[in-house]
């Protein structure tokens, strides 16, 4: 049965992240598909009112999940997109912001907007105090020994570049080896390609092994007296796999090598203790942890930061000019919000959601989900990258958005070498956060089946 007004869609290629690679990577594009069709009234369709009623019923029954409890804190989630209730499943790219963070930003600009570290008047002093308090909150959140070990940056990409240029170039020389996995985000690969070109250092890549995760046996065997640095993710933004960072750091330190950890997908979702991990550097982004965009942070061990040029006291020497003051304060508010919930509580809930998402997706015909299957000993992050046979992921993402209001990501997720290792050029990705619910997953699966049925019919 058909309903509504005929719509016209054009499925487009995803916008790819710019990158540098030692060899050319070819992209294949989905065929440009232009078609007119009407919105389907299918058994998979769930109206906003019906979904809301179902969630309300759950609340009345006392089944209060963390998603149901926290959802009211996020104004952006309560809207319709393309005539359907928004179901936001693109959290690995960026998270939504609670009212507490929005209010903190508004309060800064309305009440004490001023520059920091420069003025003696009330507004400047207040802004400086709040800015430095945010640094202390970050330090406490990841259990750094001292707030001076936290450097504010524009994002995790800038944080990695800071390490590459201020530590990498002065410390790496001809023949030194840098170990990186093929599953890294571009921002953790490209700077080290440039540093290797400048210094003569050699990049060694850990390939995928069983269950489509970096081969830990090969990883361990790569270490030698030439190894000077390891750059690795904590949680993969594509595979949903979690690497044993403590073990990897132990291997590296036995050879005197330093370790840079990309924690963008772990800090927002689990307890991360830099003293337990013993990583030398760790980076994360505010916008993935309920905070504002345009700010992230670098954690570094004090002795390393102190030895890195330019010659001022850390961390201020790495924060030249007027910093992102309001954004730092907003990040502090996000940390307060997350801490108020409890990171272990968030992690436990997301493990449950991750398993539910994985098992629900497995029932979709002709699907391949990348990364390890969840088991009693293997935990996946709350995301799934997948492909469905003979359907381009961008066509799926476009249909889900325009016909069902479901937001997922398609493309290579800034991880082209990983997709090349997987033998594909792109994938679709649904990623959850603690404000998502099992109802979101159910609606997504229903919409995905609708998309598959429609797109299969076009072939």
Active site members:
414
The candidate with the shortest Cα–Cα distance to 12, out of 386, 391, 397, 384, is: 397
For residues 217 and 310, what is the distance between their CA atoms, to the nearest angstrom? 39
- Residue 4: exposure state from Cβ atoms within 10 A (0-12, 13-18, ≥19): exposed
The candidate with the shortest Cα–Cα distance to 433, out of 374, 383, 389, is: 383
The candidate with the shortest Cα–Cα distance to 14, out of 357, 419, 302, 381, is: 419
For residues 213 and 216, what is the distance between their CA atoms, to the nearest angstrom? 8
**Cα angle at 391 between 385 and 397, to 5 degrees?**
55
Residue 274 φ then ψ, to 5°:
-70, -25
């Amino acid at each position: 049965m058909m309903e509504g007004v005929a719509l016209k869609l054009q499925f487009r290629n995803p916008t790819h992240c710019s990158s540098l690679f030692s060899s050319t990577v070819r992209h294949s594009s989905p065929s440009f598909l232009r078609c007119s069709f009407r919105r389907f009234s299918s058994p998979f369709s769930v109206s906003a009112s019906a979904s809301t009623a179902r969630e309300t019923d759950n609340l009345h029954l006392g089944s209060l999940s963390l998603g149901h409890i926290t959802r009211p804190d996020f104004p952006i989630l309560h809207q319709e997109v393309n005539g359907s209730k928004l179901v936001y499943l693109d959290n690995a790219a960026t998270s939504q912001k609670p009212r507490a963070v929005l209010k903190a930003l508004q309060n800064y600009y309305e009440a004490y907007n001023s520059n920091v570290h420069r003025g003696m008047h009330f507004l400047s002093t207040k802004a400086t105090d709040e800015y430095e308090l945010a640094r202390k909150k970050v330090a406490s959140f990841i259990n750094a020994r001292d707030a001076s070990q936290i450097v504010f940056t524009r994002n995790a990409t800038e944080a990695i570049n800071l390490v590459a240029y201020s530590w990498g170039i002065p410390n790496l020389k001809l023949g030194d080896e840098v170990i990186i996995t093929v599953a890294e985000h571009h921002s953790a690969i490209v700077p080290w390609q440039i540093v290797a070109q400048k210094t003569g250092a050699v990049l060694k890549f850990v390939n995928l092994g069983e269950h489509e995760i970096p081969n830990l046996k090969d990883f361990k065997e790569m270490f030698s007296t030439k190894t000077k640095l390891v750059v690795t993710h904590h949680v993969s933004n594509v595979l949903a796999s979690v690497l044993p960072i403590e073990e990897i750091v132990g291997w590296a330190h036995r050879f005197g090598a330093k370790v840079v950890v990309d924690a963008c997908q772990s800090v927002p979702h689990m307890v991360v203790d830099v003293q337990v991990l013993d990583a030398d550097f760790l980076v994360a982004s505010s916008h993935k942890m309920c905070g504002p965009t345009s700010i992230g942070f670098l954690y570094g061990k004090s002795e390393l930061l102190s030895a890195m040029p330019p010659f001022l006291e850390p961390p201020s020497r790495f924060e030249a000019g007027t910093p992102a003051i309001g954004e730092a304060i907003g990040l502090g508010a996000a940390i307060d919000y997350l801490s108020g919930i409890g990171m272990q509580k968030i992690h436990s809930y997301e493990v449950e959601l991750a398993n539910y998402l994985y098992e629900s997706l497995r029932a979709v015909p002709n699907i391949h989900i990348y990364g390890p299957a969840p088991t009693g000993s293997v935990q996946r992050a709350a995301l799934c990258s997948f492909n469905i046979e003979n359907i381009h992921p961008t066509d799926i993402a476009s249909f889900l958005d325009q016909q069902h209001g479901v937001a997922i990501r398609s493309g290579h997720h800034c991880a082209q070498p990983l997709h090349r290792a997987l033998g594909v050029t792109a994938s679709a990705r649904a990623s959850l956060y603690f404000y998502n619910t099992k109802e979101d997953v159910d609606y997504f699966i229903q919409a995905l089946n609708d998309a598959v049925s429609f797109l299969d019919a076009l072939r």
